[in-house]
Structure 1
């Protein structure tokens, strides 16, 4: 009887580690794909690069990363008229948010007020995603 408990305990530990790896793998795929799409977008020039979108990165030090990603998904949808790929980026961001925290529901509200250009938003989003990828060892 005593042999079964350690085996069962080891089995549960392996399951827990495996699910964490699976979540991290999905997260890394979404991050890599978003970074790739952002790099493609930033290589192209469009007349709508200067369109105004809500600025969410100005005060992001007070918010957690998941909330920032959720808001970024909402703002990316604002810019999809300019770049079709922003729809895919928004969907990937929402998947990252829902995998990480069940608290946030899409779309996340963003406060109207400060604005930035779409180009600057994309640069800031790329920096945030690069930092997240580095923090997760991706």
Structure 2
């Protein structure tokens, strides 16, 4: 398993920061994920048309933690497409671990509606940007 150096360094630095608040750690994982998503979307990888489970479709009853947990599953399943997805998976996994004792990432996702990997990444980036904005307004 090859982990991109910036992701590994971020993970190690954040892991070493025991005195920092959970909110700061979560914000850093969110921002790093947004950066990775932006880079991946700019690259236009060949598998961006690959179908993945659409976790953003249907009713909106899932809370943010459930959405992030399901997103870890989709990122894990799509990691063969691009190495940035491994970094996104690790960041989301650590977010879930710090946010919830109930959810254990990766979470099961129901088969059904699918979307392109590119559309999933765009939607995920939008959700993560909203979460960063929500945290900064607290």
In the TM superposition, residue 106 of structure 1 has moved relative to its aligned partner by 2.1
| Two-structure CA RMSD over aligned residues (Å) | 1.7
Alpha-carbon distance in 2 for matches of 1:62, 1:20: 34
Secondary structure at 1:80 match in 2 = coil
Question: Against the structure 1 CA distance between its residues 95 and 81, is the aligned structure 2 distance closer, same or farther, given a 3 Å change threshold?
Answer: same
In the TM superposition, residue 107 of structure 1 has moved relative to its aligned partner by 1.8
Greater helix percent: which structure? 1
In the TM superposition, residue 59 of structure 1 has moved relative to its aligned partner by 3.0
Q: Across the two proteins, how many residue pairs are aligned to each other?
A: 120
Equivalent residue runs for 1:2-41 within 5 Å:
22-41=21-40
Secondary structure at 2:47 match in 1 = helix
In the TM superposition, residue 45 of structure 1 has moved relative to its aligned partner by 1.4
Deviations along 1:15-55, whole A, 9 cap, x unmatched?
xxxx9961011011101100000010010012211000000
Alpha-carbon distance in 2 for matches of 1:80, 1:107: 13
Q: Does 1:57 align with 2:56?
A: yes
Task: Return 5+ residue gaps in structure 1 as ranges.
Answer: 1-18
Question: Against the structure 1 CA distance between its residues 88 and 123, is the aligned structure 2 distance closer, same or farther, given a 3 Å change threshold?
Answer: same
TM-score normalised to structure 1 length: 0.82
Secondary structure at 1:53 match in 2 = strand
Deviations along 1:46-104, whole A, 9 cap, x unmatched?
22110000000013620110010000010011111111110110111011111111001
Equivalent residue runs for 1:70-89 within 5 Å:
70-89=69-88
TM-score normalised to structure 2 length: 0.82
In the TM superposition, residue 137 of structure 1 has moved relative to its aligned partner by 0.7
Task: Return 5+ residue gaps in structure 2 as ranges.
Answer: 1-17
Alpha-carbon distance in 2 for matches of 1:100, 1:27: 8
Alpha-carbon distance in 2 for matches of 1:97, 1:59: 22
Alpha-carbon distance in 2 for matches of 1:118, 1:110: 15
